[in-house]
Structure 1
């Protein structure tokens, strides 16, 4: 089978996205977007101006959390310290946004950065350096852990080794996070959720965040097995939700990985179409974790290959239509503010 390209994400087609526009639902609802990226890649630029353009699209986006994507890693110096370049870069964007010159949005108010946890105890100087240069914004660590034996199932430019979540060296690094007040973001596919459960049980006092609803796969060998995958994924989500140190991010379903295929249509999806397709996954997560341990996320620009930012948040608002005001505040901003220690929206 052919290997995935260096950047295995759907291409963003602005002209295609422009074919469908919607009125904003609940425009006064405050939102903290707890998961987006910024990068400069060949033929793929998504920096502050591009994100600001999306976030200014009439939803009330108050603040965001940047999640590591190997953006601006240092080209020189010790390999363990090269991720500091990304934090320096993002902290500069956060300072730019915090100036108020670009409106009320506070982009990158929290930073989820990278430090190689397989360094074990030796990761401590990296964590200390990250905290030192982040201007008080460093909140969590994420490593590249999403893995499947099928080479066509790949969502990261650099393929991680298998079984990383169970590896002793990785876990020795995880053990150092709590001493620095850092949480752990985990991106794993549904086939890896037993490993996530085992890790969360091994570190009951370590806050962990499961990204992208736990990555139910809907492509490749799983494309014709959606009901089977859903049942397996749902049981693992319910088991994981019993562990109080774990929170879940509600999003990432517009990646090609999910197999929903909206990007193949002549026109982009409406928020109603997205909500209908994603409802079983989002509702399962909210029912299992509760609103105070779940948060909607954009995962932009990765998910932008399948839908626009305004439409995405409209879909989330449709999915939360039956929630109470208190639950909506948690899902759209409160949980993110608590988990990533951000000021709550006024």
Structure 2
């Protein structure tokens, strides 16, 4: 229900006249994980977000790195911090840093100096299918990347993990070795229905991650599973994710404007609310607000 406070755990803003975003730059094609992104390749600012979210009692939101070129990552953080200082949102910031960068400690410290920064995301989705992969190799197997991951705790930063199910087994072992790095699995684990094992790889990988008490998952990005998703299709997957992690370790999120490629803000939110309609009021308040507030240490009075 819209009166339930919503702390949106995954939002992107971008000003295309300010920073360069390679993935939002022509020419556009339909051969990537998102399909063509031409429909969202326009400036999207806080007021645009608030207009999209007008029905949903947004009391806070977390900005996740929006894919600016790597050299602009700190400039993105500075821009968002100034916005937070002036307007109170984004409530939290998850910045980009390449964990395999030789100067990763310098990068992490530079982000962490900003009061709104809570964590880091370094997208690591690797898949053998060139239409699916985000990276040319599975960098999570590189020792340099793993060393960078281990440095997050020193800077008091969480990690937003965006990977594919086939990577989750080895990542779960790494995550278990670093219980002082809170992990937020993006987009419900990004199951790949066309893989030979179907959703079994997803279930196995998500259970391995969920075995670590410091790991949570966002329920968002259902269009990555099927761009033409229906509520009947996603309902069992959402409920299974909640069953695996528990209602206290799942965070609903809009992932706008990216998820607008697959349906409006309202369509996604209506579906999520309908799927958990039979949950208790306390569970719904946790799923839509309390968990994000706790995990990202936002300090919002709910």
Into which bin does the TM-score normalised by the smaller protein fall?
0.7 to 0.9
Matched, 1:340 2:296: yes
Aligned residues: 279
For residue 258 of structure 1, what is the aligned residue in structure 2? 225
Asked if 2 retains the 8 angstrom alpha-carbon contact of 1:68 and 1:142, the reply is yes
Identify the match of residue 181 of structure 1 among 156, 167, 176.
156
RMSD between aligned residues: 1.9
For residue 53 of structure 1, what is the aligned residue in structure 2? 51
Post-superposition Cα deviations, 1:64-94, rounded to whole Å, max 9, x if no partner, equal 00000233x58xxxx5xx4101101212232
Matched, 1:242 2:211: yes
Distance 2:286 2:148 in 1: 30
Describe the SS at the equivalent of 1:62: strand
Pairing 1:26-45 to 2, within 5 Å after superposition: 26-39=1-14, 40=16, 41-42=24-25, 43-45=41-43
Asked if 2 retains the 8 angstrom alpha-carbon contact of 1:33 and 1:61, the reply is yes
Task: State which structure, 1 or 2, has the greater radius of gyration over its C-alpha atoms.
Answer: 1
For residue 65 of structure 1, what is the aligned residue in structure 2? 62
Asked if 2 retains the 8 angstrom alpha-carbon contact of 1:115 and 1:143, the reply is yes
Deviation of residue 237 (structure 1)?
Answer: 1.5
Distance 1:304 1:30 in 2: 22
Pairing 1:1-346 to 2, within 5 Å after superposition: 26-39=1-14, 40=16, 41-42=24-25, 43-56=41-54, 58-71=55-68, 79=71, 82-98=72-88, 107-119=89-101, 122-132=103-113, 134=114, 136-154=115-133, 159-218=134-193, 221-222=194-195, 228-254=197-223, 257-262=224-229, 273-274=230-231, 276-346=232-302
Q: Which runs of 4+ in 1 moved over 3 A?
A: none
For residue 31 of structure 2, what is the aligned residue in structure 1? none
Deviation of residue 198 (structure 1)?
Answer: 2.4
Give the TM-score of the pair, scaled to structure 2.
0.86
Asked if 1 retains the 8 angstrom alpha-carbon contact of 2:93 and 2:118, the reply is yes
Give the TM-score of the pair, scaled to structure 1.
0.76
Distance 1:168 1:238 in 2: 24
